[in-house]
């Protein structure tokens, strides 16, 4: 069976990563081809977030024990909390031929790319920094201090944009278009010769 794609999606706060991924997983046509890698984090759950679905919510002690045990493919500290990808969320899924989606920040994305050079990295962006700021204030779930921290982090993260394979823009009210861009990327990536090394052998075998 063909291996699934490892798709790494990053995007600053307010880029609509969560909404976009929800849209893809709910798609009757595409949803079943994708599995979400549930990360571990030490941050507190936001209203509506479910342990084991959105994240594995761990204490700092538990997280550090997992690091010590070598359970993490990558991890980082972001705005005062640990976030990391559990190895057990990745390997088996790809072998089943499923596309695995990791939603991680820039440092994590670059670390994944080092371990899996064939991973496809996508940066999701709001149309502009001004729109991002307006979205964060509109969300109303975070303090001004946290909003400022996330905006400052965005400036830093975008210096790494060149390390990504694709940039996709999330314009207001256009989630369907964002999902279509991602399907197009996945479709093209699956056709790359580097993922079809046995194409000639198959061609002559029939």
Interface residue with ligand 5GP, options 35, 85, 121, 170 (CB under 6 A) = 85
Interface residue with ligand 5GP, options 34, 63, 83, 164 (CB under 6 A) = 83
Interface residue with ligand 5GP, options 34, 63, 78, 164 (CB under 6 A) = 78
Q: Minimum distance from CB of 157 to ligand 5GP (Å)?
A: 8
Structure tokens at 194: 């580097």
Q: Minimum distance from CB of 156 to ligand 5GP (Å)?
A: 12
Burial bucket for residue 17 (CB in 10 Å: 0-12, 13-18, 19+): buried
Helical residues (DSSP H) of 27-99, grouped into ranges: 60-69, 91-95
- The mark string for 31-70 relative to ligand 5GP (x by CB under 6 A, - otherwise) is --------x---x---------------------------
DSSP E strand stretches across the chain = 6-10, 34-36, 39-41, 55-57, 72-78, 81-86, 99-103, 120-125, 166-169
Q: Is 76 in the site for ligand 5GP (CB under 6 A)?
A: yes
Looking at the Cβ atoms of 160 and 190, the one nearer to ligand 5GP is 160
**Nearest 5°: phi and psi at 84?**
-160, 155
- The mark string for 142-171 relative to ligand 5GP (x by CB under 6 A, - otherwise) is ------------------------------
Cα separation, 181 vs 110, in Å, equals 22
Structure tokens at 56: 């594995």
Report the interface residues with ligand 5GP, using CB under 6 A.
10, 13, 39, 43, 74, 76, 78, 83-85, 103-105, 107-108
């Amino acid at each position: 069976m063909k291996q699934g794609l490892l798709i790494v999606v990053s995007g600053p706060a307010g880029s609509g990563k969560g909404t976009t991924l929800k849209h893809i997983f709910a798609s009757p046509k595409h949803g079943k081809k994708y599995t979400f890698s549930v990360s571990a984090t030490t941050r507190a759950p936001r209203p509506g977030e479910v342990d084991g679905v959105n994240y594995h919510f761990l204490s700092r002690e538990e997280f550090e024990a997992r690091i010590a045990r070598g359970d993490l493919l990558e991890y980082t500290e972001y705005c005062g909390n640990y976030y990391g990808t559990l190895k057990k969320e990745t390997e088996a899924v790809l072998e089943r031929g499923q596309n695995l989606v990791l939603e991680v920040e820039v440092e994590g994305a670059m670390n994944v790319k080092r371990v899996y050079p064939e991973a496809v990295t996508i940066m999701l962006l709001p149309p502009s920094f001004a729109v991002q700021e307006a979205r964060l204030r509109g969300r109303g779930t975070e303090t001004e201090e946290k909003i400022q921290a996330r905006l400052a982090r965005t400036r830093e993260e975008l210096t790494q944009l060149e390390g990504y394979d694709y940039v996709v823009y999330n314009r207001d009210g256009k989630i369907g278009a964002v999902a279509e861009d991602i399907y197009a990327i996945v479709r093209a990536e699956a056709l790359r010769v580097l993922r079809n090394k046995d194409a000639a052998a198959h061609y002559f075998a029939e």
